[in-house]
Amino acid sequence: MFALVFRIVLRSLITLLLLTAVVFFALHLTGDPARLMLGDGADAAALNAFRQQWGLDKPLWQQFLAYLQKLMTLDMGHSYMTGLSVKEVFLNAFWPTLDLMIPTAIITLALGIPMGVIAAIHRNSTLDRSMMFLSVFGYAVPNFFMGVLLLLVFSIWLGWLPSYGNTSALHYIMPIITMATSEAAIFSRYARSAMIDALRLPCVRAARMRGLPEKRIIWLHALPNAMLSILTILGFFLGTLVAGAVITENVFSWPGVGKLLVQSVANRDIPVVQVIVLATGASLITANLLMDLLALVVNPRLRRTDH
């Protein structure tokens, strides 16, 4: 048991370190930040001064060690563009993104799980088919187009909702709807297949043969098993939420991490991009780690076998 937990944690740490290294080296090997920031016309003295200022004149491995050391102390450097501390820039963008992600996650779970489970129970019925068509449709409408359509109808034609920013509660409605539709579409499909698998389990078949009432079979035998497999994709779910936020924030000019990321990519503001990628990666790795550990807690079967 302890060995298993240890292995899971170790794997996460290695992935995290790998991510840090890949991001750091890739970003530094593919372009000279000094030249990027100062332009091709900059003279050698200015380039050298810039390199010295950011420690770019040292060998790459030294820069990497220095970078790791700074990360440990949560010092993330400064933006090449604005000179502001990256930590500050990132945190300012982080809270608005969280404001968007939490309600979206709640709506997605509250909508997606029941939809998928109901579709699975009534498998092959008209209800199931129409819900699954809706789900495919929700997936096919990209977030940015959904956002643009909502903007067009509710801000421009009807004038009911504000189109950009995050200053009032009304501002939250369209971004959350935009994100939640595609999320719920994806999620309901996973919930449906999880429930279908659960309904095929021997314990469910046995319960059926014993003549237990259908309600009891679903609530006590199938659903808990389905929830176990749903639990394992929650880490992936967080990933899709982040991806959705990147697009949605840019549609609605939401001052969050997604907007910051796209801006920084356009400006090639490497320290900011680096921190956003690392923070996203770290939170996903942590989420997956927690889900793996939680799965061990709630599903004793996993503890016996060593995966």
- The footprint of other proteins (CB under 8 A) covers 15, 18-19, 22-23, 26-27, 30-31, 123-124, 128-129, 132-133, 136-137, 139-145, 148-149, 151-152, 156, 189, 192-193, 239-240, 242-243, 246-247, 250-251, 261-262, 264-266, 268, 270, 273, 276-277, 280-281, 284-285, 288
Mind spelling out the 3-state secondary structure of 234-261? Answer: HHHHHHHHHHHHHHHHHHCCCCCHHHHH
Q: What is the closest distance, in whole angstroms, from the C-beta atom of residue 173 to other proteins in the complex?
A: 17
Contact criterion met (CB below 8 Å) for 188 and 112 = yes
In whole angstroms, the minimum distance from the beta carbon of 153 to other proteins comes to 10
Nearer to other proteins, 178 or 280 (CB): 280
- CA–CA gap between residue 274 and residue 269 (Å, rounded): 9
d(CA 144, CA 136): 17
Q: Which is nearer to other proteins, 153 or 220 (CB)?
A: 153
Sign of CA dihedral 208, 213, 215, 219: negative
User: Residue 176 or 276: which CB sits closer to other proteins?
Assistant: 276
Minimum CB separation of residue 65 from other proteins in Å reads 21
SS3 letters across 162-218: CCCCCCCCHHHHHHHHHHHHHHHHHHHHHHHHHHHHHHCCHHHHHHHHCCCCHHHHH
- Report, in Å, the least distance between residue 209 CB and other proteins: 25
Structure tokens at 98: 């969280």
**Can you tell me whether residue 78 is helix, strand or coil?**
strand
Name the minimum Å distance from CB 140 to other proteins.
4
Closest separation in Å from C-beta 148 to other proteins: 5
Closer CB to other proteins, residue 143 or residue 225?
143
User: How far is it, in rounded angstroms, from Cα 216 to Cα 211?
Assistant: 10
Nearer to other proteins, 174 or 207 (CB): 174
Q: Which residue number, 180 or 251, has a Cβ lying nearer to other proteins? A: 251
